[in-house]
Chains A and B, each alone.
Chain A
Amino acid sequence: MAFEYENRKTESVEREEPELNDASTTTSDSESGSAIPPLLSESGDAAPAPGSNVETDVGLTGDSAEVLGRFARDCWLHPSSLLFSVWRAVRGVLVPILILLFIDHNSNLVIFIAGIAGLSILWGAIHYFTFRYRVVNGELITREGLLERVERNIPLQRIQDIRIEQGLLHRWLGMADVKVETAGGGGVEASLSVMRCADAELLRRAVFENPERAGVAGEPAADGSRAASEPTRLLRALSIRELVLAGITSNRMASVFVAVAAVGGAVQSALSRDFLEEHFSRAGRWLLSWIDSGGMGDWAILFLLVLAFLAVSLGVSVLGSIILFHQFRLSRSGEDLFRSYGLLTKRTTSLPRKRVQLIEIEETWLRRWFKLVAIKADTAGYQPEDNSGSAEGRDVVLPVLPRSELGDVLPEILPDVRDEVPDWRRVEPCAIRREILKGTAVILVVTAVTLVVRRDFFGFMPLLLLPWIAFFCVRAYQHLGYAVGERLFHTRRGWLNRSTHIVPIRNVQAIVLRQNPFDRRHGVVSLAVDTAGQAFTGGGPRIGNVDEAKARQLARELAASAAGKRFRW
């Protein structure tokens, strides 16, 4: 019953070479020019396509000094960034202009809007002519601005993420949009748009294969050459089938199903049995006669509408999942995880393991049915974009994964997971009573409302939910728990929608115990662990209804344990 992930002591199987070579020969890769998988060995993986710089790809020996040499002098952005700014401007004003022309052929507003587009293009050109960047002395230095020159120094070691994005136009031209993020959490510190994708890859290698980079395993060789950093290893690639499953079982679909069921249930409970039978048989007859007569009964329409709504939601969800996460690949090189995904816009992002503050393993009821989980992470300084599938604000490490594989993948993200099996403890049983009380109060309020609306027997219908609430609370209590290990702190909750939070104790910033008057009556407190990077998430692990004395002792243990461990971004 309890959720456990397998801890495997053996190393994961290395399975990168054949898979990536296979993948790289699929049509979308080779014709798109440069899907950037995390760089492997020098054997050419992607077939060269128009626009990519082949010589640099093949000639690399992996020596970061050489790599850095490419950027030693002041570099300009690629001239095609002018094209991109034109494209962006046009794309922005095209629809409004078309609409305006449709309405009024000689509208002066069109000229005005075109003027705005022109200004935007001019601005892009200015940016192109004034932006410089180079990598010198272990720092990325960017200079921009016409009237006000801004020079920014970013130490390579502080770079947490180099996001490489390629839209369709980028891929056709072999360009890439590079965004550099640091631990400061201010979002994107430097945005290089656009570079040749080969250069982008070089830059990424320069940052992530730097032997001075904190945490890269490997000593400098005796002859002083670059330390042998771990080759990039593919951890998991998601197939189309898995993405379709992810779309079918996504959170949105889960709520759609619930909404439809609720509506259906409400509709059903509002009607009497005879009424229902009569109308459904009528609906059946109407459906049959629809083809002849051309008219439709109300209920048939409703039914078809619901069906259509479901189908459309499903389609949108699946399509969205495929477009967003197409060819999702999670790899690891030393201390850095890399993810690449996307169909129309290809994205490659990196994630240093140390930056992960908190891991959430999420199983919605729909996903549990299919034995799937999702792995999300709170990362320090993460700025959520509205298009990376993390509507809740958590960075998605793996959008979907069969549960059986959790034991293989999780230790790659959090190595400590391998050694620690959580020793789950329950909270006080008064939690059940209190949750049932809360649920009952809500039901009573709802009943009052329905009684007002429906002054008859059916107004009492919500009360039928009470036994379900009790049952639900008991089950939820059984799945509520926490575990404190030597290096990890686990919490889990939820019966239908389960989630498990894992916090490495070194990431604990503060621990807060709260007690409201009701808690005091029961002698319990609620414990919350604060970590960095939760600004946009639902909040860190928090457990309610823990016995007071136990909670204080636990909190002190945690605090002492955290004090003994160094915290590094």
Chain B
Amino acid sequence: MAGADREPAGSGPGSEFPGGVESDLARGEAAGGIGPDREPGWQDLDPGVVGYWRVGQAIGAVMMLSLTGLGGVILSLKQRPLALWILAAWLLLAVFRTFWLIWYPPRSYAAWSYRLDGKVLETRSGIWFRVTRMLPLPRLQHVDIQRGPIERYLGLSSLTLYTAGTRAAMISIPGLGEAKAKELRDHLVAVGGDDGV
């Protein structure tokens, strides 16, 4: 299995991993992106991004649960007999969101990787709907580094690459460490973007 002989690139593999992805094997498979092999040169995001995604999920969950909770309370006040069902449904929703919050981000992290190969940047993401994007670096128009407040607190940033395309006009790499993001950006700008308009 490819996961077994995968080189740990960048940050460490599953062991120091919050949320406990079980084994390197599973992770390697999930991180295969499209295809089971894992060639050298693939880099992962900063593991802190899992925490960042979890925070985002938590905020979303809190908002959703409070809204639906409010709606449910109002509804059950109007329709007494349904109150128990509504409560059950809301609890189910809460359980689901919590489960999702725990389960999804690490998998998403494992599925994300990128690689700089000569003059092409390749990114892979997605668990069930897998996407590989390849960007010939000379086509790079410009690069953004974005940092929301939570990202800043966690020391992360995300890189957005702009091309002249339409469907793939923006390619985003989320959750890179600050220094790494700057380094990557400088490298991309140095290597890419030769094309004149």
List A residues at the B interface (Cβ < 8 Å). Answer: 183, 380, 508-517, 520, 525, 528, 530-535, 539-540, 548-549, 552, 555-556, 558-560, 562-564, 566-569
Contacts and interface: CB of A to CB of B under 8 A. Distances in A.
Q: What are the 6 closest A-B residue pairs judged by CB atoms, nearest first?
A: A509-B165, A563-B136, A530-B165, A510-B168, A563-B119, A534-B166
Interface in B94-141: 117-120, 122, 126, 128-139
Given A510-B135, A530-B166, A556 B120 contact: yes
B137 to A, nearest CB: 6
Contacts of B135: 509-510, 559
A514 B125 CA distance: 10
Nearest to A549: B35
A420 to B, nearest CB: 20
A510 B163 contact: yes
B60 to A, nearest CB: 24
A537 to B, nearest CB: 9
B197 interface: yes
B134 A555 contact: yes
Contacts of A568: 195-197
B196 to A, nearest CB: 6
A535 B120 contact: no
Contacts of B35: 548-549, 552
Main secondary structure of the interface of B (DSSP, over half): loop
B171 A566 contact: no
Contacts of B128: 516-517
Contact of B120 (A525, A528, A559): A559
A18 B120 CA distance: 51
Given A517-B128, A552-B132, A566 B167 contact: no
B34 A513 contact: yes
Contacts of A511: 133-134, 168
Contacts of A513: 34, 131-134
A515 B137 CA distance: 24
B49 to A, nearest CB: 22
B15 to A, nearest CB: 28
A567 B34 contact: no
Given A509-B163, A510-B134, A540-B166, 12 more contacts: A183-B197, A509-B135, A534-B167, A535-B166, A548-B35, A549-B35, A558-B134, A559-B135, A560-B120, A563-B137, A563-B138, A569-B197
A379 to B, nearest CB: 12
Contacts, number: 117
A534 B166 CA distance: 6
B164 interface: yes
Contacts of B196: 566, 568
Nearest to A569: B197
Contact of B168 (A380, A530, A533, A555): A530
B120 A520 contact: no
A549 B134 CA distance: 15
A430 B128 CA distance: 20
A539 B168 CA distance: 11
Contacts of B130: 514-515, 520
Main secondary structure of the interface of A (DSSP, over half): mixed
Contact of B134 (A380, A531, A559): A559
B194 interface: yes
Nearest to B137: A563
B139 A567 contact: yes
Interface string B160-194: 00011111110100000000000000000000001
A462 B137 CA distance: 51
B131 A532 contact: no
Nearest to B121: A559
Given A512-B131, A514-B129, A516-B129, A567 B164 contact: yes
Nearest to A566: B195
Nearest to A214: B196
A566 B166 contact: no
Contacts of A552: 34-35, 132
A210 B166 CA distance: 31
Contacts of B163: 509-510, 530
A517 B126 CA distance: 11
A194 to B, nearest CB: 31
Contact of B139 (A509, A516, A540): A509
With most chain A CB atoms within 10 A of its CB, the pick from B117, B136, B137 is B136
15 contacts: A511-B134, A512-B134, A513-B134, A514-B129, A514-B131, A515-B130, A516-B128, A530-B165, A535-B166, A548-B34, A559-B120, A560-B118, A563-B136, A564-B119, A567-B139
A556 B136 CA distance: 9
Nearest to A548: B35
Contact of A566 (B134, B137, B138, B165): B138
Contact of B164 (A509, A520, A549): A509
Nearest to B164: A532
Contacts of A510: 133-136, 139, 163, 165, 167-168, 171
Contacts of A517: 128-129
B132 to A, nearest CB: 4
A549 B171 CA distance: 23
Nearest to A517: B128
Contacts of B132: 512-514, 525, 552, 555
Contact of B136 (A520, A539, A560): A560
A548 B132 CA distance: 11
A525 B131 CA distance: 9
A549 B169 CA distance: 25
Interface in B139-157: 139
A160 to B, nearest CB: 11
A566 B164 CA distance: 13
Contact of B194 (A515, A516, A549, A566): A566
A525 B168 contact: no
A529 to B, nearest CB: 9
Contacts of B34: 513, 515, 525, 548, 552
